[in-house]
Structure 1
Amino acid sequence: MKQTLQSILTASDAVLFPAISRNRSLNSVFCITESDVFRCNEEIAVFLQDPDFQNRLCKQDFVDVLFILKGNCICRFYKTDLAAPPESVFLSKHSFCIIPHQVIHSFSPDPDCQILHIFFKLDSLKSHYSDLISANNMLLLFCSNMLYRTHYWNYLYFSVSYTDKLDTLLAEMYEEFHHKQIFHQNMLYYSAGMLFTLMERQSLSHICVSPSNPLRLVRYDQIYSYICDNYPMTSARTIAEYFHISQSYLCKLFHENGTTVTTVIQEIRLQQARSLLEQSDLSVQNITELVGYHDLTYFIKLFKRYFSVTPYQYRKKYQSTKKLPQPTVT
């Protein structure tokens, strides 16, 4: 008979959150790193909540998807200023909560509360999240903001109907990680896709986020893709009009990602110009116009600032490199 998640986590050999040096803290915040929970080549880890972390201020450099299997828990989320009062969220039995990296938080569980943590490496989730999360809904929007914005202070939570399918899936993820049979990370990756799909089926109408930091209506990666497709003729004004947002909000969104609209457009245009210099015989004047500039002198100045050579020098250097005899392999 197949074990349920409840029977696994109440067993005497249930694996708690990994042992970590309790001295690693910064201004009373306990900092947990990827090396604390992931072994070599691991991208997903699954653990049961450790009672030692009760009421402890923590932050981690990976994403935490937690599930309340039994009992209730109060989670408190802090902004960078710990002097300000935190936002408190009551998580009941069969609730999910997604906590981005570097978000300071603490758990206050009931005595009988059981919490399952599914940890995702940030770079791995960024590479695969569009495959794992398929629907165009608030869950996708939250994950996109979480992965593509710097210093993203937010969290997301919702309750689900606890079905046999979900119980079996979570139990299998726990066992796959701790038994570590061959290709267990592959199994966890595909199980994660199923988990997010089950979330999407149930969470559309009652998903909740921080009331002080609502989700953005437009994602940064959406705008970036639009610029890549329309770089010769786009501008902050045309982008704002296309996405029905203000230019001030657009600039703020790019600022939060450590750049500006103008910088991104310029970089995409210049990279495309470099490709045209390498792959075509078009004149520099023609390339200037094709990538969206109308002043040749200005374009040459920008190109030299970005690549440290003029377009003419770049093409000459690239062509001479192609003509060099290639070494033979014996």
Structure 2
Amino acid sequence: MEINDFSIVDLFCGVGGLAHGLVKEGFIVDAGIDFDKTCEYAFEKNNNAKFYHRDITTLTSNELQSVYKGDKRKILVGCAPCQPFSIYNRKGVKDNEDSSKNEKWKLLYSFAKLVDETEPEIVSMENVPLLLKFNGGKVFTDFKSKLEGKGYKVSWYIVNAQDYGVPQRRKRLVLFGSKYGKIDLIDKTVCNNQYVTVKEAIGHLPPVEDGVPHPNDQLHRARKLTPLNKKRIQATKPGGNWNDWDESLILECHKKESGKGFKSVYGRMKWDEVAPTMTTYCIGLSNGRFGHPEQDRAITLREAALIQSFPQNYDFIDPNSQMSNAAIARQIGNAVPVGLGIAIAQSIKNHIEQIENN
């Protein structure tokens, strides 16, 4: 049994961060499925795979079976959108609610249902660690139990992407299920805290002004700042935030006692550290610590993609259509970092080799 004996489908594939990690490790990803059609160009262009624009909650097992190649063995991977498990989206949610009937959690239950009905030999699911705690862990337990009921050996890990060469603090839950036994996550690839820094990730890029794209790379563009926000970033030191500002620059909300704790906005990164977690608002100066360490602007789309460990030649922009900065930032922020995708791929590869040797 070899990796080329498997056909892989990526659910909630987005622009292909997880798929690209698998491809870089020699796997063949035959298809990606996602509700966001704007991801089609980048997914297909960079991964030599077919994109299917579908709602996972209405996808049938027969439809999923049809996108696998021939009679190859099957691997199903995916990262169900994690926003439902965000702290900000849990208000008003009762701990004893029936999660399977809540629209917010429907995607993960749909993922489990497709596994139950198609029974791929190997499964991997990536999500946020908060999934373990929500509703007493019921959503996670339901997913895990569904797989175990079908004979999968399930293993799961809490990882930080920075331990696998991603220049970013990003804690994630990685789950594996296999019909052949336990899949062990590979050991950390970064030793002695020698993390990839912001400077190593983006320091080689040419400088750009806010609102002015680089002529040789349309993705290397940052949002235009207002004159007031320009003064704010100029007053912010590397690693600092709005606490560095003169009183005249501080927002009224931050002057109130209730706003003084919001220190993770209007922040600058530091060259010699890893970046903060990239979000769907990763190019907004006011949305986090997304200020460039040196230049007076927020990071560009290309810088965000590099911090997500996408290769610099990863092509996000369809020349035949227009896409807003916000849409591309959403794609990048939602993606599984390629470096973490590689770690997942290597773990699955090692498992397949162990099966072959046994």
Return the TM-score normalized by structure 2.
0.21
Q: Which has the higher strand share?
A: 1
Q: Which has the higher helix share?
A: 1
Greater RCO, 1 or 2 (C-alpha within 8 Å, sep 6+) = 2
Return the TM-score normalized by structure 1.
0.23
Q: Which has the greater radius of gyration?
A: 1
